Amino acid sequence: MDAGLKEKLVRLGLSEDQILKLDVEGVQSEEDLGLLNAHDIKQATGCNLLLAAKIVRAGAPSVPVLDPIEVAPDAEIPEGTKPSPAQVNTFAASMGMDPNMLSIFMVAGMANNAGVGMDLSGMIPVPQIVAGYNPKIRNMFLMIMDQVENRLGVPIVVIDSDGGINRDLTVEYIMGLEEGRDPAENNVYFDSAGMPYQVIQVGVDAQSIYDADPLDSTRALQKNGMGTGRINWINVSDAVRQTAYYAVTRTHEIDPKNDAHLAWLRDHIKPSSNHLVFSGQAPNAISEFNEGRRTGSLPTLRVMLTRGPRRVELMPRRRRVNPRDPRDLAGIGKEEL
């Protein structure tokens, strides 16, 4: 047996005879000793179980102490994940809360990966929540602001004319709602001087405006220009997008749920197209576009995105496809002008 191991076992309380018995069993090094549990050592040497447990503990490899991970209180939480323990601790410390208590509440409310499931909004002062809120970043502040809004039932973020957050008025407005005051009519909040300010939802970045999908103007196009039905609107003129919008919303000559209509759009919507591409499929939409251009009322087709805490879907969505349903092929395949 290794001399160093023998000396260590003597210090722990084993006799020479007991050490010899371990040697006979083939224990030559600390690595060999690490393969045995307390019952193995007790059986081999005849020592009591407590001494055997001490030997096992002494032979266990030491665990290196790692430096604590530095995480900012407003650190971003990746989509579909829960806050890490380091994020919870740092956030709690910055709020003057007990990290252990906050962790208990969060664990109780996070049975899935949706984020902060339990309502923590009443545990943290409103000014501190608003001070750290950023609609561009999915973090603890955004999640708790979302909880405040859900609890109050109305939009709560007051913005300036440039789209930036007016934090003082946001705090004032939220605290007024919590005291039982009525929500701002038409989401317009007036300060003490009578100046109007717009109130928007949590997660909306009012300073970032995106191209809307012409087939669903409430949604933004993907960064690569892809929209509903895998139609690519990149570099497509505003006139074409606006005519498509009218064909869907006004004249209903295009149905975004109709596979044949979507296939037609994929074939005809090109960067080189002009709005007359719809002359066969949606002639009435062209008339609507011409009228809108004449009166200066064409849609901007721009939209603000909302970035709220994601919720896990309980049941996956399925496409509603019934092969027996007749397809409306009106206008498909007609000659273009």
The pTM is what?
0.48
Question: What mean pLDDT comes out for the span 105-117?
Answer: 45
Measured between its terminal Cα atoms, the distance across the chain in Å is: 96
Residue 327 placed within a domain: no
> Which secondary structure element, helix H or strand E, spans residue 57, and what is its range?
helix 49-59
Domain hosting residue 40, numbered range: 3-59
User: Which tens digits make up the pLDDT trace of 142-189?
Assistant: 888 888 898 899 999 999 987 889 999 999 999 999 999 999 999 999
Q: For residue 195, what pLDDT is reported? A: 92
Closest among 184, 182, 207 to 195, alpha carbons compared: 184
State whether 54 and 102 are in the same domain: no
User: Which tens digits make up the pLDDT trace of 268-288?
Assistant: 999 999 999 999 999 999 999
State whether 113 and 198 are in the same domain: yes
Residue 312 placed within a domain: no
Domain boundary among 151, 186, 202: 202
Residue 328 placed within a domain: no
Domain count of the fold of the chain:
3
Residue 245 placed within a domain: yes
State whether 93 and 153 are in the same domain: yes
Confidence of residue 259 (pLDDT cuts 50, 70, 90): very high
Helix-helix angle 3-12:49-59, to 10 degrees: 140
Q: Is the pLDDT of residue 293 over 70?
A: yes
State whether 158 and 96 are in the same domain: yes
User: Which tens digits make up the pLDDT trace of 42-71?
Assistant: 888 888 877 877 877 776 444 344 344 456
Residue 73 placed within a domain: no
Residue 182 placed within a domain: yes
State whether 217 and 275 are in the same domain: yes
> Are 189 and 197 a contacting pair, CB within 8 Å?
yes
Please report where in the chains the tokens 């096992």 appear, as a residue: 56
Query: In the chain, how long is the greatest CA-to-CA distance?
Result: 106
Q: For residue 73, what pLDDT is reported? A: 66
Q: For residue 175, what pLDDT is reported? A: 93
State whether 264 and 226 are in the same domain: yes
State whether 92 and 194 are in the same domain: yes
How far apart are alpha carbons 220 and 303 in whole angstroms? 6
Distance of CA 34 to the CA centre of its chain: 45
Domain boundary among 44, 59, 74: 59
Q: Extract the tokens encoding 291.
A: 């009228």
Residue 292 placed within a domain: yes
Closest among 278, 228, 233, 232 to 257, alpha carbons compared: 228
